[in-house]
Each structure stands twice: as C-alpha cells, then as structure tokens.
Amino acid sequence: MPVQARTRKQLRQSIGYNLGALKVGTATGGTNNTLIDVNTFRGGDDEYIGKLALVTDANGTNNPQTTQYVNDYTASNNTIQFQQNSSFPIEDGDEYELWSEPYTPTRIHDFINQAIIDVTGQAYDPIESVALHADGSSMRYDIPSNISIINRLFYRTAVSFTTLHSCNAVFDETIDSDFTVSADTQDKKKGTASNKFVIAVGASAGDIATDSIDSKDISKYDYLECWVKSTVPTSAGNLKILLDDSASCASPIETLSIPALSADTWTFVRIALANPETDTAIISVGLEYDSDLGACTVWLDDIKVVQNDTAVWEIFPKHLWRIDRESRDLVLTEGGKFEAGYALLKITGGDKPALLSSETGASEIDDSYIIARATGLAFASASGGSGTDPDTLRQQAAFWFGLAEQSKRAFPLLITGRVVE
C-alpha cells in the first residue's frame, strides 16, 4: 500500500487546493491585526474580505497559531486586516493560509479524521512485534496493546545466543544489605530455579546485587533477553540489568533499563545492548534498584544475549491458535503449546490507524485515499448550503469518493487476518 506519510498540514493544504478554497503564502510583515504579503496578494481593494486566515508564528515558541477572519484588504500596500488582534504580531516569514467559506481548517481536520475512521478495519498501520515468549506451559498471552489485527504468528526455532546467567544459582558476588537473594525452585520460567531478590523498605536508588561469571565475549550480540517479575508495578528504568568487565559491576559498560512491569506477572524482556562492540570480556552481571519502590520482591530468570539477525522463524499453524477478543488474549491449543515449546513469538499484523491531532502528526494509511475521501466529504457537506449549486457539489463529491474507492483497492487484503478488537 503506497503510504507517503504526509503531515496533517500537508493533507489539509492538498484538500484545500482540491476544493479551490485555499491560498497559501508567507508574510513579509504585519502587526497584531494586519498581515502584509507583497509577493502573493493580488486583486483590488476588499479582495480577501471574509476569508479565514490561519497564521503560524515561525519565530514563536512551539509555533503558535492564530485563526482570524479578514475584514479589510488594501491593495496599494498588500495588507489584510483582521477582525480581532492575533495572539502574536505577524512578522516576516510567518506562514499563512487563507480559506474560503464554507471551509475552515477545523472542518478539514474533522474530514481527515472521518476519512481515517471510515476505513478503520480495512486499513491498518503495519506492525511486527516480538513482545511475547512461549514458556512451554502457558496457553494464554496478553496481546500487545498496539496490535488490532494479527495476520501471522511465528515462533523462533533457532538463534545464535550465549547464556550470561541461567539463574539456577544464586547471585552472591556483591549483595547490598537491603537485598536478600535466594534460589526459587517453585516460581521460575526455565531451568531448575530463578533468582529471587527480596528488597527491604530501606533500599535506595543505586543499590545492587551482582554475581561473577566466566569471562564472555558478547560483542557479536545485539540484544539481551531475560524474564523479570516484580510484586509491585514498576516504570521503565526503575530496575536495571548491569553488565561489566570489572568485578561487582563497579563501572558497568552496559546499563540496561528494564521496561515497565505489571505487578505479579512474569514479563519477557528484550533490551538492545547499548555498546556491544566494547562487551568483549563480561565477568559480572547485576540487578540495580534505581527508584524508591518500597519493599518488594523481584525475580530474574534465563539471562542471555542473542544475535538478532541469526533468528530462524517458523510459521505457527493457524489451527493451533486463536484470539479471545474479550480478554485480548492470544490463546494456544494444547497442540499449540507443544508446538511453540520455549520460544520467542513474532506477531505480524497491524494497529488501527491513528487519528491526527497535531500539525506534525503523519498519516499511517495511504495519503491519496485520505485526501480524496476528505475532499469528497467537504464537497458533500457544502452541497446543502445556501447560495450553492448543490448538483455540481454532489457531482464533485461523487468524483472524489470514486477516487477514494480506487485508492482503497491498493490496501492489503485482510482476508487471512484475525481481528483483536
């Protein structure tokens, strides 16, 4: 599907040109209630009375905008006058749009979003996710919130990896006094045990627990993978994995922020290594407590590094999985649980296209469809107004709706997709 990802501003202006309702230019001067453009303005006095001006302050903080109706135009000095003062003085370089009734920027924005809503369920923003990991026992997995449709499910059958710490043995190199570490043989994801860190209420940011390992050159790997669980919810970076080529992680060469965790839920974590080229002799692995979470317990299991581009993927047969829409769960059958075993899962699918709420927001579906559909909606909305030629406007609307339908034919077929919501 051809997606140019134009911004809302670019879409709006394209639609305005289609409607014959827009003039765009750059101010050469002005005041709080006047705008001068010696390069673009044409025509006699009063030429632009009744137009709606949208002006962007090129020199202002966050590019504030103002919309003002024009109540006068003086041809001799190329100056329009606003009905009210703008929130900032118009200066050389400020960009402006002049809109003709009945069309306004706000209405065009509504038509753009309506066009996106109209095609939701037929078009989507492509997404590939490797957020889920089968563990050989679970049959239900929370589908990531940014996925609305799943086209295919894969499982990783092979990848080049090195285990840094199996977590079968207890971290015992350097342990902060507020940490109590033990091997948990009951609550684990792989092997014979996980590492259980009971963290006292007196723990403070920077407290760590580390373990020494045989020196490992992991410079060819690019991701660290592990399982993490916490009794309290955490934000990204509250907990960190440390890797170091010196004892006790005294000066970590990798400080990897663990993503946000839900309480009491094992979470598969996949974090890009920051400096793999320097990771040639890792001898210490650590867990850092980096925020005041209060008393809590954290578990770690199966810490390894992988070479992402060596992954081999096998498609998951569709009869071995389904979607529970009510709970937003990916559900494996008994055969599916056996098929996946202990493997990373990859979802290919998509998210519902986002509505546009800012000038810089970019479209996630085909621009040509949005422009055509929104243009048609604008013409149709004006066909019942007084002083209009309704038949001509309806014909224009039908023409642009037809172009929008042609653009929709280029959307990817979703026959094989399974809808999440």
Convert the pLDDT of each residue in 107-160 to its tens digit: 999 999 999 999 887 888 888 999 999 999 999 999 999 999 999 999 999 999
Reduced 3-state DSSP string for 102-160: CCCHHHHHHHHHHHHHHHECCECEEEEEEEEEEECCCCEEECCCCCCEEEEEEEEEEEE
What pLDDT, in 10s, does the model give residues 159-172? Answer: 999 999 999 999 99
The predicted model gives 329-334 an average pLDDT of 97
Query: Domains in the chain, please, with CATH?
Result: 8-120+356-408 (no CATH), 127-351 (2.60.120.260)
Q: Is the pLDDT of residue 1 over 50?
A: no
Q: Say what the pLDDT of residue 34 is.
A: 96
**What are 411's two structure tokens?**
């959307």
> For position 133, what pLDDT does the model report?
97
Kindly report, residue by residue over 18-34, the tens digit of the pLDDT. Answer: 999 999 999 999 999 99
Residue 231 or residue 413, greater confidence: 231
**Residue keyed to tokens 């009945």:** 102
* Per-residue pLDDT band at 53 (split at 50, 70, 90): very high
So what's the pLDDT on residue 126? 83
| Mean pLDDT confidence for 4-17 | 92
Contact between 95 and 26 under an 8 Å Cβ cutoff? The reply is: yes
Q: Let me know how long the chain is.
A: 421
Which has the closest alpha carbon to 296: 152, 211, 179, 405?
179
Distance of alpha carbon 366 from alpha carbon 417, whole angstroms: 19
Name the residue with tokens 């990897």.
Answer: 256
pLDDT, position 186: 96
Is the overall model pTM greater than 0.75, yes or no? no
Give me the pLDDT at residue 59, please: 73
Furthest C-alpha separation in the chain = 87
- Which pLDDT band, with edges at 50, 70 and 90, does 411 fall under? confident
